A and B are shown apart, each in its own frame.
Chain A
């Protein structure tokens, strides 16, 4: 099924998403990857506030290439989500609603998605030029010293993603492969 969704994403929206749905996201989303997640986790350990609002927000696992003059961003496709598995359950329990990345997640992350009525989307890996066209603005919010790994806030329009893990714990990576396996 095709769906158009806007951020921030509520539980009402995630309840209606199913693994395999093709979605177009419009609105503000945050960008963070390895180093930024590590720093956010350390901040929480020290009892500090997160540098971004988290309730019903979306994090895109991505590190863009530099923007040319007059453009909001460079190439901007998803990075492998499993490297953020260590940190994701904690953020989901704090209210994070959606993650965009590519690749498999651990059982701990999938359990946290179900527990928090959240969603894990995949964007097409290696399509960074195409995906960059849906990004209308990009602003570094914090951790500027991390360069390509800084936390950014993006405004996206009709950003194409596919529901991989829905709020009931269905996992498209497992079901779709079975459908086409013939070995």
Chain B
């Protein structure tokens, strides 16, 4: 059994909040850079170049990549042989968020109640998804999520008869409707199967997958390739101002589902697809 103290967890979470908001992952960085060479629109190229410049400034001058530093979303994999010492794990993560968003000059974008809407002033509470896994490690992924793109996400409860064509239509509809609002070029996370909430969770988690990691199920891999090509033919382009780079990746996760259903969730992320992982 491994013992992990909540102080260690808070310290790591604090650093992860800052890291995710100032630096993009290597795969996101190179996908954005490569897009400049393939983009057909002159204005589109200009915008993609500005996004590169933006990343450089964020890095060198310590200014968050985007002012919407997001609601802090976590995927936590807790090994069943880990013992957490020093208090509640959830409290420790929220304490890390509180310190990260304050010390890191990140925007506090969370209101404590969806109707009364009073800002909590420290970006807590976070949205935390726990998974109990075998082993003695604690793996924490943070994915701060901005709401320009979050607001354009969709769930479709399709009928089994709609099949894969129905899934394709659902993805294209969501991306088309999102258009310029979601700050393209976007990353499209898709969850197919499960239940209502399982599909949404899979779509969100798909956004954190490295682009080089591909699905093992052949039809899923093919669907990712086909949808990326189709989305980039929609014409939306960088900033939604026309072009051939509308999405950088389509990441799809699947799960078993019920005989009567075919849930499809599409979680759209902007080009600032932030995520970082640490294992303790």
Contacts and interface: CB of A to CB of B under 8 A. Distances in A.
A67 B54 contact: no
Contacts of B148: 79-80, 102-103, 125
Contact of B107 (A35, A66, A125): A66
Contacts, number: 165
A35 B117 contact: yes
A1 interface: no
Nearest to B272: A126
B105 to A, nearest CB: 5
User: What range describes how many residues of A lie at the interface?
Assistant: 35 or more
B65 interface: yes
B237 A177 contact: yes
Interface in A139-179: 146-149, 160, 162, 164, 172-173, 175-179
A177 B66 contact: no
Contacts of A146: 119
A66 B270 contact: no
Given A65-B107, A103-B148, A147-B119, A128 B40 contact: no
Contact of A77 (B67, B233, B241): B67
A76 B236 CA distance: 24
A122 interface: yes
Contacts of A16: none
A122 B234 contact: no
Contact of B242 (A124, A130, A132, A176): A176
A129 interface: yes
A181 B235 contact: yes
Interface in B1-54: 40-41, 43, 47, 50-51, 53-54
B109 interface: yes
Contact of B67 (A74, A80, A164): A74
B105 A66 contact: yes
A126 B235 contact: no
Given A68-B62, A130-B54, A177 B106 contact: no
B267 interface: no
A124 B64 contact: no
Interface stretch (B83-91, B155-163, B178-186, B216-224): B178-186
Given A64-B107, A128-B54, A173-B240, A122 B66 contact: no
* Consensus secondary structure, chain B interface: loop
Contacts of A64: 67, 107
B129 interface: no
B43 A125 contact: no
A65 B57 contact: no
A143 to B, nearest CB: 12
A65 B64 contact: yes
A107 to B, nearest CB: 16
Contacts of B41: 176, 179-180
A-B interface, 7 closest residue pairs, ranked by CB to CB distance from nearest: A176-B242, A181-B235, A103-B181, A125-B183, A180-B235, A183-B233, A75-B67
6 contacts: A65-B67, A66-B107, A122-B240, A126-B272, A179-B41, A183-B235
Given A125-B183, A177-B179, 18 more contacts: A65-B63, A65-B69, A66-B105, A68-B105, A74-B67, A74-B105, A75-B107, A77-B68, A79-B68, A82-B181, A122-B240, A125-B270, A126-B183, A128-B66, A129-B66, A160-B50, A180-B40, A180-B243
